[in-house]
Chains A and B, each alone.
Chain A
Amino acid sequence: MPEVSYYPGCSLEATAKDYAESVEGVCEALDIELRELPDWNCCGASAAHSLDHRAALNLGARNLALAAQGPSPLVVPCALCYNRLASARHELLEGDDLVIDEIKALGGGYAGVEVVELNDYLSSPEVTALAKQRATDLDLSGLKAVCYYGCQGQRPPAVTGKADYENPQGLDRLLGALGVTVMDWPFKTDCCGASHSVPRPDLVFTLVAKLYKRALDQGANCIVTGCQMCQANLDMYQEEIAKQMGKQVYLPVLYFTEVMGLALGIDETPKWLKRHLVSPKGLLEKAQLPRQTWERL
């Protein structure tokens, strides 16, 4: 049973509870043990790196120092947290002059921690093969999905170490292996506007409208993501954005772990899907999935 360090991040305790539950459910089904970092702290998100560089680095350094004491790698489900932790690690390789003594006292070792985004971890050839082997024979081909990776998990490549940062393939391959009809599209890593949804929702609406339009043009009937910020921005305001577009939009925004839950036949999957604002009920019914996956949504 592989054991990894796990950094859930603040959103997964609230807005992205569906993501948190599906991550735990899927990892349990695949015998991957998630060891949550003891007493982890917020990554600082956009706020810290925007207003206080020193704080941003230290918030990352503390989590990395905690991770240095646990199993490797450190797996992170939220793309923004992942980016902040990987950026801190990248910067700490240059030196830790800005790190405060209270955090240095945790024992250092932070620059050596391997930070991995959850969707990369779960779409590795090994895990994909395992998921395929344990999957039920449920036919998921009625799900016509575009995979939306977002920006923070990919860029900049000097920090993420990724080779296919302009056109990532991990989720496409994983979902394809599970029988989902995966549609190619050019907006895999385009920005959703992230935390601007609060102070400048108009910007997020403009960016998300472009994503909806392209996804629909591509023939998709759902969007699958591995980032909780993208999920929130695409799921929470869909009705309002569609009204502004003057268009009918019905695009449930699923976490890739929820789709894995369907494929693996995990009973709790409908409980996760029920937390979405755009109900996946119509999608699953039309995709001819068994009644028990959607009747209570």
Chain B
Amino acid sequence: MSEPIAGAPNGEPLSSDRPPAPSPEEAIRPDGRWLAQVEAASGVKAGACYGCKKCSNGCPLSFAMDLHPYQVVRYLQLGQMDKLEGSSTVWICASCQTCLTRCPNQVDLPRLMDWLKEELVRRGQAAPEEKVRLFHQLFLKGVAKRGRVFEGELMAGYMLKTGGAFGPEAIKNARLGLTMLKKGRMKLLPERNKDRRWLKALFREPKGGSHA
């Protein structure tokens, strides 16, 4: 054990146990071509990030992320898209906008997270937070159908697909549903737009891809 070094930020001894240096295979090989493409497609100046980590210190959900928000930006700068494919971070982000608000270079991280989600779904990538993706997709499906959200159908559909309609979870969910119904906070019939032609045009299945 080494002696504490005077002036160490938290007063704790600095450990001499450093993680081993990465092997040549593990070491990052920067690929600068990606950044320009991502910036053009997302409209976010990811290259402006100088790594102050203010985004990540203020992020209310970083405790549940496998990569801190600044790491997502850094991997994009280095062209390491594969590092982001299996990461939970973009799906855990709740778009609370704290990071963008405090970023000294106004890097729009929430927009970047959204762009990445869309890109990963387009690539047919399985999301590490499958349930978050599913909930968003079912929500959007309802909007595409009626122009408005029908919360009852959304919840029922979600529970059927995730198993929440069966087993011990089902009892809890049913009890909450009944309470909401009793309190007059659940509608049994959906509202919909009178004009729905625009919905058809907006949510038309694009060639080669598909919406939920």
Contact = CB atoms under 8 A, between A and B. Distances in A.
A293 B104 CA distance: 49
Interface string A48-68: 111111110011001000000
Contacts of B114: 49-50, 53
A83 B184 CA distance: 27
B185 A275 contact: yes
Given A100-B198, A236-B176, A42 B147 contact: yes
Given A17-B184, A47-B139, A41 B148 contact: yes
A161 B114 CA distance: 22
Contacts of A242: none
Contact of B140 (A48, A62, A100, A200): A48
B160 interface: no
Contacts of A16: 185
Contact of A55 (B97, B195, B202): B202
A266 interface: no
A71 to B, nearest CB: 21
Secondary structure type dominating chain B contacts:
helix
A15 B186 contact: yes
A19 B121 CA distance: 35
A13 B132 contact: no
B202 A58 contact: yes
Q: How large is the interface on B (under 10, 10 to 19, 20 to 34, 35 or more residues)?
A: 35 or more
Given A47-B136, A50-B114, A191 B92 contact: no
B39 to A, nearest CB: 15
B101 interface: yes
Interface string B191-212: 1011101110111000000011
A205 B113 CA distance: 23
Contacts of B78: none
Given A11-B151, A49-B114, A155 B140 contact: no
A154 B136 CA distance: 23
A258 interface: no
| Interface hub of A151, A165, A199 (most chain B Cβ within 10 A) | A199
| Interface hub of A39, A166, A198, A275 (most chain B Cβ within 10 A) | A198
A42 B147 CA distance: 6
Nearest to B204: A100
B88 to A, nearest CB: 10
Interface of A: 10-11, 13-18, 39, 41-42, 44-55, 58-59, 62, 83, 100-103, 151-152, 154-158, 165-166, 190-191, 193-196, 198-200, 203, 206-207, 236, 274-277
25 contacts: A10-B148, A13-B191, A15-B186, A17-B185, A39-B194, A42-B143, A44-B143, A45-B139, A46-B94, A46-B95, A51-B140, A52-B118, A53-B115, A59-B143, A103-B202, A151-B96, A151-B97, A152-B96, A158-B106, A194-B94, A195-B135, A196-B132, A199-B132, A274-B183, A277-B183
Given A102-B202, A152-B96, 9 more contacts: A10-B148, A15-B186, A49-B114, A55-B143, A59-B202, A62-B198, A151-B98, A198-B135, A199-B131
